[in-house]
Structure 1
Amino acid sequence: MENKTLETVYRIVEGIDDKLGEDIAVLKLSEISSICDYFIIASATSLRQVKSIADEIEDRMEMLDMKLRNKEGHQTGNWILLDYGDIVVHLFFEEDRGFYNLEKIWKDAEIIDVDNVIKNNI
C-alpha cells in the first residue's frame, strides 16, 4: 500500500510542478496523525493558477481511478483542499499560505524532499 501511496504522491507533485506551482512541500503524517498519510502543500501566484493546479490534479487522479473524497474552496481559489483519503492536497494563493502556515502547525511531520520526488519518481 505504501508504494502505491508514494506513486500517487509523485503524480500529484508532478502535476503541481507541471502547472508551475511554487514552494511544494510534502509532509509525511502517518507517524504522528490518523488524519492521512501525507499532506501536499503548494502555492500559486494567482487564483486562476490555484484552480488550474487543482483541476490538473483531479484529472491525473481520475486517470489513476483515485476517488476524490472531498473538495473545498474551488469556487474562491484562495485555498483549495483535495482529499484523497491517504493524501490531502492543500493549494494556496501565495498571499494566504503564510497566514495558515500548515508547515508550522505540523512541524513534527517528516518532510519529504520534493526535488527527489520530482527527479527520481520517488
Structure 2
Amino acid sequence: MEQMVDAVEDKKAINVVTLNLEGISLIADYFIICHGNSETQVQAIGSSVREKAGELGIRVRGIEGMNTARWVLVDLGDVVVHIFHRDEREFYNLERLWSDAKIVEHV
C-alpha cells in the first residue's frame, strides 16, 4: 500500500488519503483517494500506479476512467486507488461515504 501512495505522490497527487476498510467492506482492505488538477495529471497518476504495480508484481485487476480522466479507479485487489479530477472529488466525497473507516497515517 505504501508503494502505491508513493506512486501517486510521485506525480504530485493532491490531498492523498488512505482509508482502512478492514472489517467494514468486502470490496477492499484499503482505499487510496487523491486528486489532480487536470485530466493530464489524473492520467499521469493512474499510469504511475499501474507502472508501480507492474514493478512490484502486483496484478492490476482493472482500470476504469483513464479516457475521460475525471475519476480513475485502479483495482489492485486488496487496495483500490481512486484518482479524481478536483471537481469530481468534491462531488463524490468518498471520505464522507466511508466515514466509518480509519484514516491511515503515512510517514
Matching residue within 79, 83, 107 for 2:99: 107
Tell me how many residue pairs correspond in the alignment: 107
How far, CA to CA, are the matches of 1:94 and 1:22 in structure 2?
9
After superposition, residues 81-120 of structure 1 pair within 5 angstroms as: 81-114=73-106, 116=107
Q: What percentage of aligned pairs have identical amino acids?
A: 38
Partner of 1:71: 63
- 1:46 CA drift (Å): 0.5
Q: TM-score, normalization: structure 1? A: 0.86
Higher helix share: 1
Distance 1:93 1:33 in 2: 25
Partner of 1:51: 43
> Structure 2: where are the runs of 5+ without partners?
none
Q: Match of 2:52, SS? A: helix
Instruction: Kindly report the root-mean-square deviation, in angstroms, between the aligned alpha carbons of the 2 structures.
Output: 0.7
* 1:18 Cα deviation from its structure 2 partner: 1.1
TM-score, with normalisation over the residues of structure 2?
A: 0.97
Amino acid at match of 2:101: A
Larger Rg belongs to = 1
Name the CA distance, whole Å, in 2 between partners of 1:43 and 1:66.
22
How far does residue 113 in structure 1 lie from its aligned partner after superposition? 1.2
CA distance in 2, matches of 1:106, 1:49: 25
Alignment partner, residue 40 of structure 1: 32
Task: Work out which of the residue numbers 48, 53, 64 in structure 2 matches 1:61.
Answer: 53
Counterpart of 2:90, as a letter, is: G
Secondary structure, aligned partner of 1:51: helix
Deviations 1:49-82 (A, max 9, x none): 0000100110010011111111110010000000
Structure 1 residue runs of 5 or longer lacking an equivalent are 1-8, 117-122
